[in-house]
Structure 1
């Protein structure tokens, strides 16, 4: 409930704000901050969740206008949002408004709920993902430091896409599921592509958590009626992500309609092989049946399987361990090359007198070696680019082009093009005309479509 006088004052303040001139970023940011303060002051508060209107994102840009100004003022933008990202030789310390994407910020206690025009519409989210695919993922670097910068920007952008989706769960659920599926594929690809980076450049556990959160979001949307033709694919990812889990019953119940599909059957059988330490079957299945992304997830557990396998072999065949040919040991440990096997064994204090001959055990404390680059996983990728991998089975590319985002200010810096301000002035004026001054007004809605927004 909003008092009549309070709403009347808000309309007056918005009218006074309309038409003000703002020439600098600071002035534009200040004007929009005043607008938000006025709107939030009249935002209705209700304890009846059944009466609450469903949230619908109304921002049509990849990044809300006020955030663009704020981050440019703070010089807080990524290289991929700078002038240099689009054309070499440009200033990397200046932001390009066409490239800016809404930044992920962790929620904190006391944080105000976003207004509808701070949440991107589903169409804006589709355009944002297409921009990420075409202009960022497609330009995957090779140097470690640049690769980490590339990942961090995409990760932040995708996490914010997921948040915007979950804040409006009733809007275009099928589109939302498609965007989340591409998000899962990116994080799975990154789990392997960046696996050799040091911990300070790539947090493997945080990346796994991102996969898990996206999978849970997909489950929630599909439970609410969203459609997806890739349920079996992502059910297999859910199992492979937690291959060391004691039970997969929960996942199978979620995907019971697809559990006989090749993807889910592969994941279940690989889980059984992992639980039973059936190393021959485990590596054979990855080599012969896994897709590239399934192999990427299985690779997360390869080190555990190899360590357990080597310990079992040394204990069971101690007397004649030195007589096992390196080629045979390579097969048992799932390596493609004997040299890789020798390098792996050396980390455990097992030396090889000749690169392609016998292995000779030496008493040494077992230490976990770093993961070795997998020829097996790489061979499954073929010539597919990162962009194609993330897109999945979708062969059609959306229209990705650079356009200037809409501005609430005209060419002279006048604040007269903001559809949000115009909407609330008009809507609240009608409410004032239809109520008596001594009454409180409850019909303050934050849903609908702002013309031109």
Structure 2
């Protein structure tokens, strides 16, 4: 009996042991599987992130290639047309013999067919009745009588022949004069007409071509800002015709991007930009703003693509580029410090530099009311750039002497002289958008200030007031304390102790630029996004 009981207890013990062992192994297996899944998900997310970055870089490179090759394609097309015309003339020759010698002997009035006071004037086989004036023959040939009696075409050809005959008398080469006078102007007109005909002109009067709208609606590729209200929860949301905007499409082989029905004329492009600014970027209900930025950035890129294809210039081009530059400068400030997957400052900077360069090139022809503003923005955004400084020095005196340009030049000079105290003092005089353009240099400026003070006030007995340093840095006291600690500068209560040996560079990511925007934030006040982008500040 005891043996039987011991056997049962042993079996129960073994069963409990095996159960515990299985539970322990299952737990370890679950932990291992979860770790593998997390690592795979992280790798997949990293690959997706790298893929998106590569696609964006490829898009930028292709944009540059399209912009660089568009003039070459037009030149090749013109050359092809000229070659075809030359081959056609070679197969079907129609030569015109040049005028070698032109002499008028005897009475020129009789030669022209005026034998009496009433006669006829013969040109190319046609007979034109007219009155012979009671003047000398030279007055008839070049005088006011021709202006009154003959058609415009006949008068032009007659004056040409008249000038050629006198050139022959003076010993000048008649053939060369005739060809230059007759062919030069005509050739220029033909070339200009061919150039204008080779440039595609858009005929789409809506913000999005009908074909693209239908394709994106059928493929469920509409952005949530473009969906018709009330259909958001449907399986296939419908498009809002008044809210769909043509998206940017990367050029591809076999895809015709010059179809007139897919291109918007300049007036429609400007209307599209106004819609993006007023209804999307400035909307208080659309959130988050990173998504708003991504949508507006892509649609503005499509607008510039249409402008490049159509070679748009003039007032509409300037108006579009001015709002684009303001939007990108404001976005560089507002989205500073956002995760890279939501906002890439390098891509934003690339498109901002391209748009700003295009805009400044448009300013070279004619007068524009906002030229001083954007010349100053370009200089403030590119502080320390020798190219930007040289461009500013080559501007006319009336632009360089304007108050806004004088202030921007003073800031640029302080930056190049490494005078951060003067630069920060001048920064208080900048308006909001100018401060947005300058804000990416403020971190470097404050770092240089602390480095200079660490060498200039390096002493164990020297105490620098913390509130005074905060005023110079244009920060509040807690942020100044945080900035000093990040650079190894010792803070003792309400004083700062500088030492040239203790200054260090902050660790990567320790200082968030968005936390040091007090200088810019104070200037925004009640300004709306729409008023900032439209320049109504």
TM-score by shorter chain over 0.5? yes
Quote the Cα distance in structure 1 between the aligned partners of 2:461 and 2:213. Answer: 64
CA distance in 2 between counterparts of 1:266 and 1:352 reads: 34
Q: Are the counterparts in 2 of residues 292 and 380 from structure 1 also a CA contact under 8 Å? A: yes
2:419 aligned residue (250, 254, 278):
278
SS at 1:205's partner residue? Answer: helix
Gaps of 5+ in 2: 1-75, 82-190
Output the CA distance in 2 between the equivalents of 1:207 and 1:190: 8
Residue in 2 that maps onto 1:232: 372
Distance in structure 2 (CA, Å) of the matches to 1:245 and 1:104? 31
Deviation at 1:114, TM superposition (A): 1.6
Q: How does 1:64-103 map to 2 (within 5 A)?
A: 64-83=209-228, 94=237, 95-103=239-247
Deviation (angstroms), 1:234: 0.5
Corresponding residue SS for 2:242: coil
Deviation at 1:271, TM superposition (A): 0.6
> How many Å separate the matches in 2 of 1:93 and 1:325?
64
Separation of aligned partners in 2, 1:233 and 1:321: 47
Residues 460, 497 of structure 2: 8 Å contact kept: no
Q: Equivalent residue for 1:134?
A: 278
Q: 1:70 to 1:207 in 2, by over 3 A?
A: same
Q: Distance in 1 between matches of 2:435 and 2:310?
A: 34
Q: CA separation in 2, counterparts of 1:262 and 1:111?
A: 49
Within the alignment, does 1:47 sit opposite 2:190 as a pair?
A: no
Count of aligned pairs between the two proteins: 342
Residue matched to 2:260 = 116
Matches within 5 A, 1:44-443: 46-47=78-79, 50=191, 51-52=194-195, 53=197, 54-83=199-228, 94=237, 95-108=239-252, 111-140=255-284, 146-170=288-312, 173-225=314-366, 227-247=367-387, 248-254=389-395, 256-287=397-428, 289-320=429-460, 323-335=463-475, 337-354=476-493, 356-358=494-496, 363=502, 365-367=504-506, 369-371=511-513, 372-393=515-536
Q: Are the equivalent residues in 2 in contact too, given 1:71–1:77 (CA < 8 A)? A: yes
Relative to structure 1, the CA distance from residue 238 to residue 319 in structure 2 (aligned partners, 3 Å threshold; closer, same or farther) is same
- Residue 283 of structure 1: CA displacement? 0.7
Q: CA deviation at 1:235?
A: 0.4
Contact 2:469–2:480 (CA under 8 A) maintained in structure 1: yes
Separation of aligned partners in 2, 1:373 and 1:141: 27
- CA deviation vs aligned residue, 1:26-47 (integer Å, no higher than 9, x gap): xxxxxxxxxxxxxxxxxx9543
Superposed CA offset, 1:291-316 (max 9, x none): 11111111110011111111121122
Deviations 1:297-346 (A, max 9, x none): 111100111111111211222214861111121133232x1111112222
Task: Work out whether residues 82 and 91 of structure 1, in 8 Å CA contact, stay in contact via their aligned partners in 2.
Answer: no
Distance 1:299 1:380 in 2: 12
Distance 2:436 2:496 in 1: 30
- Distance verdict in 2 for CA 1:167–1:346, change over 3 Å: same
Aligned partner of residue 301 in structure 1, secondary structure: helix
Local SS of the residue matching 1:352: strand
TM-score for both structures, normalised by structure 1: 0.69
1:129-179, Cα deviation, whole Å (9 max, x unpaired)? 221122101215696xx22111010111112112222322356x2122112
C-alpha distance in structure 2 between counterparts of 1:62 and 1:237, whole Å: 29
Are 1:326 and 1:357, in contact at CA under 8 Å, matched by a contact in 2?
A: yes
Residues 187-196 or 98-107, more deviating: 98-107
Displacement of 1:272 after TM fit? Answer: 0.5
The 3 A distance-change label for structure 1 pair 292 and 255 is farther
- Offset at 1:126? 2.3
Structure 2: how far apart are the matches of 1:142 and 1:309? 40
- Structure 1 runs not aligned, ≥5 long: 1-43, 395-453
Give yes or no for contact 2:380–2:408 (8 Å, CA) kept in 1: yes
Taking a change above 3 Å as real, the CA distance of residues 353 and 110 of structure 1, as seen in their structure-2 partners, is farther
**What displacement does 1:364 show?**
6.5
Deviations 1:348-371 (A, max 9, x none): 2335343x4445768464125321
Larger Rg: 2
8 A contact 1:321–1:360 mirrored in 2: no
